[in-house]
RNA sequence: GCCAGGUUGCCCGAGUGGCCAAAGGGAGCUGACUGUAAAUCAGCCGCGAAAGCUUCGGAGGUUCAAAUCCUUCACCUGGCACCA
């Protein structure tokens, strides 16, 4: 597990670029060196699935675990009902049913990224609804609320911005207290003395540190990691690559997930390898060098895509997706592919079915496979020279496949532009 | 409860009776160049082959004509009050 020269976890996080803010680093370093430390990170069910950006703190927990510490993964069943205030404005609350359903799904995802065993570093999963739910308002206001100063809460960046803009409900304003109380609760239950999270969580985490100090007269640590951005510094998932990249294979197919990372820029790929993988410095340096010398091989992108697909979807999926990508992508002679290879590849990409008897045109094919959103869009694609059937460009909107075009008598490989592929099964 | 402001296409945002399928920006898509990169340039970006149709929170109305006016409902925001 640990390298021959066991590097301090904080040093590793630092060279990986995973350090944003922290409380007293020297004290944290000391405590981490003293033996297994218990740390936690929370995830609110604000969507049906985690997305790639969530992997940063989640893998962060895992990194600490590998370094000999005990991670607690917190599912935000309670905090998810309230909503962390954001600058864009008041959230519309989701229904309790929705939150509960999302919570279950997300919890299932969370559990896959840390190791459970009986050792002192075995992971723990908790749900803050377990202690927040039973608490009465009066208890909460007396025991927790009393320790918070409205004055300092008002000076928070997000709150100030919101007050200048559209204001903020008391509900969201209270979020800080809930998360702070979580930290206190975990400190009491599990001796948790470190909370990590994305840098947007900084003030929430500090709230807990403060609360623990006031109530328990004990120090606790806060440590945040940068929010992932793409090469232009945009927040991950928000606008990069057309929407979020979800962990749930039903929302983002493993093939799409793989292709997303395969397509990032050189700069982003080398950066992401540090943030999202466990490769050590030597391996990373070798990949960097290779990428610089022979950029067309896209070594960094390939490694990134493979490692992340394996991490999220497993070895088997990665093999299938890689095979599909190789089989379908670009210049290979599709006619030489085995039928089984082709059909396996079709499992990974969007597909459609048509009957030759219906005499479908290229436009019909693009629409039926979902490669184009509408007939107009499909027509546009053809007009723009972006439509391919079996790697041959099709420029006539009225083009129809004939029996001689079929691969193995029953398949077509459709492509829009350079990177969007779909399979067509042709029936009689 | 009252008063005021707001709700526009994936996002931000202009638009206060016709010239609006709706400016602009971002995101996205295609092409050129390449390395399934970046940068840059060009085109596209509601549906429809077209006629035309559907869109500006929901419903209804005024008008030859509504994103724009009126009514009403919902939600958001700000302010005031009430519950003493």
Question: Which nucleotide has the least CA–C1' distance to A420?
Answer: B36
**Which two structure tokens, joined as six digits, stand for A127?**
């749900």
The predicted structure's pLDDT at residue A143: 94
Q: In what order do the strands lie in the sheet with A392-393?
A: A351-355, A420-427, A411-416, A387-389, A392-393
What single-letter DSSP state applies at residue A1? Answer: -
Domain with CATH 1.10.240.10 in chain A: 254-313
- Which residues of chain A have a pLDDT value below 50? 1-4, 231-233, 237-242
Nearest residue: Cα versus C1' of B6: A166
The reported pLDDT for the residue numbered A86 is: 79
- CATH 3.40.50.620 residue ranges in chain A? 9-225
User: Which residues have Cβ atoms closer than 7 angstroms to strand B?
Assistant: A 88-90, 92, 166-169, 231-232, 239-242, 259, 262-266, 291, 295-296, 298, 301, 325, 329-330, 373-377, 379-381, 384-386, 416-420
Domain spanning A254-313: CATH superfamily = Tyrosyl-Transfer RNA Synthetase (1.10.240.10)
All CATH 3.10.290.10 domain ranges of chain A, comma separated, are 346-427
pLDDT for the residue A428: 78
Please tell me the distance from the alpha carbon of residue A69 to that of residue A44, in angstroms, as a whole number: 23
CB atoms under 10 Å from CB of A253, counted, come to 19
Q: Which of A380, A400, A398, A391 is nearest to A418 (CA)?
A: A391
What is the model's pLDDT at position A5? 56
Q: How far is the CA of A177 from the C1' of B19 (A)?
A: 56
Please report the pLDDT score of residue A169 as a whole number.
81
Pairing between β-strand A387-389 and β-strand A411-416 as defined by DSSP bridges: antiparallel
Distance in Å, residue A94 CA to nucleotide B58 C1': 20
Find the helix or strand (DSSP H, E) in which A408 lies. none
Query: For the segment A292-327, what is each residue's pLDDT rounded down to a tens digit?
Result: 999 999 999 999 999 999 999 999 999 999 999 888
Q: In this predicted complex, what is the ipTM?
A: 0.85
- 8-state DSSP, A351: E
| Distance in Å, residue A264 CA to nucleotide B37 C1' | 7
Fill in the DSSP letter of residue A282. H
What is the rounded distance in angstroms from the CA atom of residue A120 to the CA atom of residue A128? 22
CATH fold of A346-427, please? 3.10.290
Nearest nucleic acid nucleotide to A230, CA to C1' distance: B38
Query: Which pLDDT score, from 0 to 100, does residue A332 have?
Result: 60
With CA of A259 and C1' of each nucleotide, the nearest comes out as B36
CA A377 to C1' B45, whole Å: 9
Distance A215 CA to B79 C1' (A): 39
pLDDT tens column, A139-181? 999 999 999 988 888 888 888 877 777 678 888 889 999 999 9
pLDDT at A328: 86
pTM of the model: 0.90
Distance in angstroms, CA of A92 to C1' of B31? 41
pLDDT of residue A242: 39
Span CA (A262) to C1' (B33), Å: 21
Q: Strand B: which bases are under 7 Å from protein Cβ?
A: 12, 26-32, 34-39, 43-50, 75-79
3-state SS record for A209-237: HHHHHHHHCCCCEEEEECCCECCCCCECC
**Does the domain formed by A9-225 have CATH 3.40.50.620?**
yes
């Amino acid at each position: 597990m640990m390298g021959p020269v066991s590097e301090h976890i904080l040093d590793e996080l630092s060279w990986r670029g995973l350090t944003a803010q922290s409380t007293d680093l020297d004290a944290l370093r000391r405590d981490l060196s003293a033996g297994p430390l218990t740390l936690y990170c929370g995830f609110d069910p604000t969507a049906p699935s985690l997305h790639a950006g969530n992997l940063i703190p989640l893998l962060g927990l895992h990194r600490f675990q590998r370094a000999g510490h005990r991670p607690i993964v917190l599912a935000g069943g309670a905090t998810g009902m309230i909503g962390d205030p954001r600058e864009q404005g008041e959230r519309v609350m989701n229904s309790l049913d929705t939150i509960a359903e999302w919570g279950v799904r997300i919890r299932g995802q969370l559990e896959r990224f840390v190791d459970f065993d009986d050792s002192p570093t075995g992971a723990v999963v908790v749900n803050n609804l377990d202690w927040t739910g039973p608490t009465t308002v009066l208890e909460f206001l007396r025991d927790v609320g009393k320790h918070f100063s409205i004055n300092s809460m008002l000076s928070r960046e997000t709150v100030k911005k919101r007050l200048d803009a559209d204001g903020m409900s008391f509900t969201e304003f209270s979020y800080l207290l809930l998360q702070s109380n979580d930290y206190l609760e975990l400190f009491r239950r599990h001796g948790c003395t470190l909370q990590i999270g994305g840098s947007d969580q900084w003030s929430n985490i500090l709230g807990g540190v403060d609360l623990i100090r006031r109530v328990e007269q004990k120090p606790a640590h806060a440590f945040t990691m940068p929010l992932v951005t793409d090469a232009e510094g945009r927040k991950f998932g928000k606008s990069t690559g057309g929407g979020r990249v979800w962990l749930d294979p039903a929302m983002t197919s493993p093939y799409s997930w793989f292709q997303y990372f395969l397509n990032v820029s050189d700069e982003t790929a080398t950066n992401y390898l540090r943030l999202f993988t466990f490769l050590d410095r030597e391996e990373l340096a070798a990949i960097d060098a290779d990428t610089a010398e022979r950029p067309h091989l896209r070594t960094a992108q390939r490694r990134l895509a493979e490692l992340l697909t394996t991490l999220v979807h497993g070895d088997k999926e990665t093999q299938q997706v890689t095979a599909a990508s190789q089989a379908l992508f670009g210049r290979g002679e599709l006619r030489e592919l085995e039928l089984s290879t082709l059909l396996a590849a079709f499992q990974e990409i969007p597909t459609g079915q048509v009957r030759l008897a219906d005499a479908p045109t290229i436009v019909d094919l693009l629409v039926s496979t979902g490669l184009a959103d509408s007939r107009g869009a499909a027509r546009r694609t053809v007009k723009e020279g972006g439509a391919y059937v079996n790697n041959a460009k099709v420029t006539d909107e009225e083009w129809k496949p004939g029996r001689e075009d079929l691969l193995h008598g029953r398949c077509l490989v459709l492509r829009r532009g350079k990177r969007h592929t779909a399979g067509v099964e042709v029936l009689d």
